[in-house]
Amino acid sequence: MGTLIQVGGLGSLTRLQTSDSRCNFRPKARVVISRPKLKRSRLVATSAVVAFPDLQADDFRHPLDRQNTTLLRAIPGLSEVGKFLLGSTAEQVMLLENIGTSVLVGENQLSDLHRLMVNAANILDLETPDLYVRQNPVPNAYTLAVSGRKPFVVIHTSLVELLTPAELQAVLAHELGHLKCDHGIWLTFANIVAMGAYSLPGLGAFLARNLEEQLMRWVRAAELTCDRAALLVAQDPEVVISVLMKLAGGCPSLSGQLNVDAFLKQARSYEEASQSPLGWYLRNAQTRQLSHPLPVLRALEIDQWSRSAEYKALLSQASRAAKANTSRAGALKARRG
């Protein structure tokens, strides 16, 4: 049965989501990528970044994502129930609704955005999905895939207006992280089971509430993993944190006045305020029903992971691979010359 996924968006989650396909493709990736210069770019300069050949999802998966994925896999019959509750008609409606109201990006259509996506996919060692731009005043991005078809990413025009090219590429990398980690499988099936369980007699509502709470914990953890994917592409924590800051309280007219260091200071103050018993309770009550962690907490997570030995080891390994590839290419050229 073909099924549809709408993997967690950048800042919001649509309830209808399913997948029975894996989207972790293995193309040949270029080892060194140069961030492209966009026409009329707001970036002052560009810098070389390294790619991650043979990158595995578990190389950057957040521990909470791994833990909560294990819990979802332990639910018996989850995928079978999900397939039963959503058929091919619903997937076709969602697919056509997204494609029919958006602009497909390509080499000859919004080519700057196309290059950002291609480079991000190469860095993460993924096949490049299709990219659509959709008119919407709410800054967001999300990923969809139908089994047997090429997955695609949708970004809203308001997000393009809000972010710099480097930040926009980090958003694309976040969405690619969902594909890299096969998040749609568990995200969607749990969503459908939770919605369908409400119709069951007796314990239906009770089961749905418990499953939905478990689902939301997993979704929030999955978002932390995808923020790491964004950092692997941006290779600058300030870029990723700036995206989160702008999603929390940014607009085009204010973007030039926003300060990443001040936002991190704000994030640390939130962390400190939630350490008390009352603060801990209020923090959990605030986030329990959210599909995404609070932007300040996501900023702290990225700041901490950018300083970690795990992240530095990934960069070091990629850099060594790039140097070895350059040396081999130089030696081959010399022999041919």
Residues catalogued as catalytic: 175
Q: How would you class 254 by CB atoms within 10 Å of its CB: exposed for 0-12, middle for 13-18, buried for 19 or more?
A: exposed
Two tokens at 168? 């926009």
Return the number of other C-beta atoms located less than 10 Å from residue 170's C-beta.
29
Residue 109 DSSP code: B
Residue with tokens 């259509």: 109
φ, ψ of residue 75 to 5 degrees: the values are -75, 115
Q: Which long-range contacts (CB under 8 A, 24 or more apart) does 259-265 make?
A: 263/296, 263/299, 264/299, 264/300, 264/303
Q: In what order do the strands lie in the sheet with 141-146?
A: 4-7, 141-146, 152-156, 130-134, 102-105
Q: Cβ(273)–Cβ(279) under 8 Å?
A: yes
Cβ neighbour number for residue 261 with a 10 Å cutoff: 9
Query: Can you tell me which residue has the tokens 């049965």?
Result: 1
Q: Can you count the helices (H) and strands (E) in the chain? A: 13, 7
CA angle, residues 58, 263, 243, in degrees to nearest 5: 50
Residues 218, 335: Cα–Cα separation, whole Å: 53
Q: Are 235 and 49 in contact (CB under 8 A)?
A: yes
